[in-house]
Chains A and B, each alone.
Chain A
Amino acid sequence: MKVLVAVKRVVDYNVKVRVKADNSGVDLANVKMSMNPFCEIAVEEAVRLKEKGVATEIVVVSIGPATAQEQLRTALALGADRAILVESAEELTSLAVAKLLKAVVDKEQPQLVILGKQAIDSDNNQTGQMLAALTGYGQGTFASKVEVSGDNVAVTREIDGGAQTVSLKLPAIVTTDLRLNEPRYASLPNIMKAKKKPLESVTPEALGVSTASTNKTVKVEAPAARSAGIKVKSVAELVEKLKNEAKVI
């Protein structure tokens, strides 16, 4: 079966971002970019499905600037077979991305689409669910376990009170949670080989998708800073402060 994996280029998770002085957004100039951590988990799961003989082909897709090719090459080095870049310079909303992915799904006809549960930049947690709505497929969000058997996939999901398992008819959409797997590192020979794997580039216009949005970001501000705290010397002093100064116990 064919598996489609969506990956996003985002600011590296270790970077502490800074808001631009004009409040138009965060400053991403000269900041380290990486594959979104949840997308790494999605790629890993697809590769494991291929190693188990469940998946026959892994197609990885990214929607973003030309530089997102780096993240696609990373995914190819990890084991994806070919890549598609939907090139768009502007920042797109989750709905626009879901519509573009729907166009790719229509073309590629995968049995399983794996996405991360959220991107650590927008923190939206929407794209997988929206793609499921547009395709009419079942969705297994926040997955911590994925098992394909026949025409169904059983997905164990992390929910607020514990874990829930649902069974979905294939084709289906799965979004990954942190505990689904531990992504591997790309080896140097595989990074070299990945340079020769096919990478196709298309535009939203060529896919016939409008990326117009109903949302507009008016401004982006730094969060209110916390006032500096104090270091206490003993547990007794801590308890005294909590009781009499902060009055929280």
Chain B
Amino acid sequence: MTILVIAEHDNKVLAPATLNTVAAAAKIGGDIHVLVAGQGAVAEAAAKIAGVSKVLNADNAAYAHQLPENVAPLVAELGAGYSHILAAATSNGKNILPRVAAQLDVDQISEIISVESADTFKRPIYAGNAIATVQSNASVKVITVRATGFDPVAAEGGSAAVEAVAAAHDAGTSSFVGEELAKSDRPELTAAKIVVSGGRGMQNGDNFKHLYALADKLGAAVGASRAAVDAGFVPNDMQVGQTGKIVAPQLYIAVGISGAIQHLAGMKDSKVIVAINKDEEAPIFQVADYGLVADLFEAVPELEKLV
């Protein structure tokens, strides 16, 4: 068995989610190869990942923005000889991998949270309210991996051989126009050990400064509920939930968040959950390890002082 892992990167840095994906591959067992498709110098970083035996480096302008129309044919072509193709369930992984699966004429398994055996996996369905065990008899098993389900492997220690891939697929059906990336000095939401999230109860975007102050003291990332995003308090990429980011930090502090099913889907695997809400009937208290019924505008500044 040989497993192909698609590296998650931005042409400059290898994303941490790649390490969680390699960890899932290690649980399946077998040789692990990593494909770096893009334009840049990430292959060397990929070669250092513990447990990786080979890195395929497809360095080509056609893959620079990881357009699925170009990358999927490459992955399908290379991946046909592998037993498994794995990618992190990031926006890139979700965009590209189903296209690969359809090209290989196999069903994909999305967002696995555990490996039961080489062909059997667990994944959440219905916003995490049920866990399905899925078995695949496909010749190539195409899978996306939920990063929070697997502890990352070491980023250093490996010494895989790097092999250049010459194939250049350019479908010509799509082109990159531009992007707007949110800038933040705080830790990345999906990889942070502590996450502080605000909801509708924050009342406006300016009030998020209380959460930023607390987060900076804790070295935490700041997230938000859909209500806060829809109200325009904060940008979309801060949304935690079924349709936003899935996080599982050591500590999740939910401030002014009622705890709708769709929000819980994104954070209920956190180790410790704290809820601060003035409504003692809020559903968030049913999953919180520690609940504080209080006005957040008093509690959050006080919390910031005390930690």
Contact = CB atoms under 8 A, between A and B. Distances in A.
Interface in A127-154: 127-134, 136-139, 141-142, 144, 154
Interface in B168-211: 171-182, 190, 194
A167 B243 CA distance: 24
A242 B290 contact: yes
A129 B135 contact: no
Interface stretch (A55-63, A78-86, A187-195, A223-231): A223-231
B7 to A, nearest CB: 15
Contacts of A242: 251, 272, 274, 290, 307
B134 A216 contact: yes
Interface residues of B, number: 90
Interface in B76-128: 90-92, 94-103, 105-111, 120, 124-128
Given A95-B101, A158-B236, A246-B272, A123 B127 contact: yes
A159 to B, nearest CB: 4
Contacts of A168: 173-174
Contacts, number: 255
Nearest to A164: B179
Given A168-B174, A214-B106, A13 B237 contact: no
Given A161-B237, A162-B181, A167-B175, A235 B106 contact: no
B131 A117 contact: no
A144 to B, nearest CB: 7
Interface string A229-241: 1111011101101
Nearest to B172: A169
Interface of A: 11, 13-14, 16-17, 19, 26, 93-95, 98, 117-118, 120-134, 136-139, 141-142, 144, 154, 157-169, 172, 177-179, 213-223, 226, 229-232, 234-236, 238-239, 241-242, 246, 248-249
27 contacts: A94-B98, A94-B107, A118-B243, A120-B126, A120-B242, A122-B125, A124-B108, A125-B94, A125-B98, A132-B99, A159-B179, A161-B182, A162-B237, A164-B176, A165-B179, A166-B176, A214-B107, A215-B107, A221-B133, A229-B285, A229-B288, A231-B292, A232-B290, A236-B306, A238-B274, A239-B306, A249-B218
